[in-house]
Amino acid sequence: MNPAMAGRPDLMAGRTSLTVYPGMTGMMENAFINIKNRSYTITAQVEVPQSNANGVIICQGGRFGGWTLYLKDGKPIYTYNWVGLERYNIEASQPIPSGKATIRFDFAYDGGKLGAGGTGTLFVNDKKVAQGRIDKTNPVMFSADEGADVGVDEGTPVTEDYKERDNKFTGRIYQVTIDVKPMGANVKDKADKAAQQFLMDKAAED
């Protein structure tokens, strides 16, 4: 299911940046940039309303695995859902003031093995507002039938912190950019690269 591990053709192969816009929903994993087993950054250019600042900015997957960046009562929150068993929340303590804002989430991958954890940091207008650990990540896939959505979480919710089919972002989204570091770019990623090469060699033998 993970073409970067299997060595098979991939629409996003080698791509390290993807920009998406409101209305882009249901993007399946093979048509969306691969954030698994690596460090990444999500940067959202938004406009926050004066009141009722809620809803999903961008998400991928659903109740049984995925991640989501959203506002609740004006506070930015990133939730990582590990295979439906554990959820890791990184939440700002204060709401974002109304108006245009840049919300950024940085994930620094630990490396050392597939599906390792890492540290997540939230920024608003380049100011750090929250940081926390994500102990486990999905190494192969998030969902076979739920994709990535901008401005809403269309399928089952990644988190129960917002309602199913009632989670549309109440502000305005200009664009969201996802940047990933290539696998094997850091010293910590060498074990991951070796593990991927092992899987590729074994597949070739079979």
CATH number at residue 181: 2.60.120.200
What is the reported pLDDT for 39? Answer: 97
What is the reported pLDDT for 187? Answer: 41
Give the count of domains, the chain.
Answer: 1
Helix, strand, coil percentages (3-state) for the chain, rounded to 5, are 15, 40, 45
Residue 123's domain comprises 3-205
pTM summary value: 0.86
Q: Which residues of the chain have a pLDDT value below 50? A: 187-192
What is the reported pLDDT for 204? Answer: 57
b/e map of 14-50 (b: 16 or more CB within 10 Å)? eeeebebebebbebebeebbbbbbbbbbbbbbbebbe
> Could you report the per-residue pLDDT of 55-101, keeping only the tens digit for each?
999 999 999 999 999 999 999 999 999 999 999 999 999 999 999 99
What is the reported pLDDT for 113? Answer: 92
Structure tokens at 11: 């629409």
Distance from chain centroid for Cα 55? 16
Do the beta carbons of residue 124 and residue 108 sit within 8 Å? no
What is the reported pLDDT for 3? Answer: 73
